[in-house]
Chains A and B, each alone.
Chain A
Amino acid sequence: MQLATRTTVRPAARVSVRAAPRPAVRVVRARAQPEKVLQEAIKEAEEVCDGGAAGECAAAWDNVEEISAAISHKKANDAATNANDPLEQFCGDNPDADECRVYDD
Chain B
Amino acid sequence: MASTMRTSAPVRVFTTRAASRRTVVVKAADEKKRIVIGLAADSGCGKSTFMRRMTGIFGGAPKPPAGGNPDSNTLISDMTTVICLDDYHSLDRKGRSAAGVTALDPKAQHFDLMYNQVKALKEGKAVDKPIYNHVTGILDPAETINASNILVIEGLHPFYDERVRDLCDFKVYLDISDEIKFAWKIQRDMAERGHSLDSIKKSIESRKPDFDAYIDPQKKHADMIIQVLPTQLVPDDEGKILRVRLIQKEGKKLFDPVYLFDEGSTISWIPCGRKLTCSFPGIKFYYGPDTWYGEDVSVLEMDGQFDKLEELIYVESHLSNTSAKFYGEITQQMLKNSSFPGSNNGTGLLQTIIGLKVREVYERITSQTVVPTSA
Q: Could you list which residues of chain A lie within 8 angstroms of chain B, going by C-beta atoms?
A: 29, 32, 34-35, 37-39, 42-43, 45-46, 49, 53-73, 76, 79-81
Contacts and interface: CB of A to CB of B under 8 A. Distances in A.
A65 B48 contact: no
Given A49-B202, A53-B100, A62-B104, A38 B194 contact: yes
Interface stretch (B164-172, B204-212, B290-298): B204-212
B134 A68 contact: no
Given A55-B101, A67-B135, A72-B188, A61 B194 contact: no
Interface in B186-217: 188-189, 192-195, 199, 202-203, 206-207, 209-210
Contacts of A29: 70
Interface of B: 43-44, 48-49, 52, 61, 70, 93, 96-97, 99-104, 134-137, 185, 188-189, 192-195, 199, 202-203, 206-207, 209-210, 339
7 contacts: A39-B194, A56-B97, A58-B102, A63-B97, A65-B43, A69-B43, A73-B134
A38 B194 CA distance: 7
Given A34-B135, A42-B194, A62 B102 contact: yes
A45 B203 CA distance: 9
Contact of B135 (A37, A43, A46): A37
B192 A59 contact: no
A76 B206 contact: no
Across the A-B interface, give the 10 residue pairs with the lowest CB-CB distance, nearest first.
A55-B100, A39-B194, A70-B134, A62-B102, A61-B206, A61-B203, A56-B100, A58-B206, A69-B43, A42-B194
A76 B48 contact: yes
A68 B189 contact: yes
A54 B105 CA distance: 14
A65 B195 CA distance: 11
A76 to B, nearest CB: 6
Given A49-B202, A66-B137, A58 B210 contact: yes
A57 B206 contact: yes
A62 B214 CA distance: 14
A49 B206 contact: yes
A49 to B, nearest CB: 7
B103 A62 contact: yes
A86 to B, nearest CB: 18
Given A56-B97, A56-B100, A59-B101, A69 B203 contact: no
A38 B192 CA distance: 9
Given A65-B43, A66-B93, A66-B134, A59 B102 contact: yes
Contacts of B339: 79-80
A69 B97 contact: no
Contacts of B44: 65, 68-69, 72
Contacts of A37: 135-136
A29 to B, nearest CB: 6
Given A69-B44, A76-B48, A58 B134 contact: no
B134 A45 contact: no
Contacts of B194: 35, 38-39, 42-43
A70 to B, nearest CB: 4
Given A29-B70, A37-B135, A64-B199, 18 more contacts: A35-B192, A38-B195, A39-B194, A43-B194, A54-B206, A56-B100, A58-B100, A58-B206, A62-B96, A63-B93, A64-B203, A66-B103, A66-B134, A68-B188, A68-B195, A71-B192, A72-B188, A80-B52
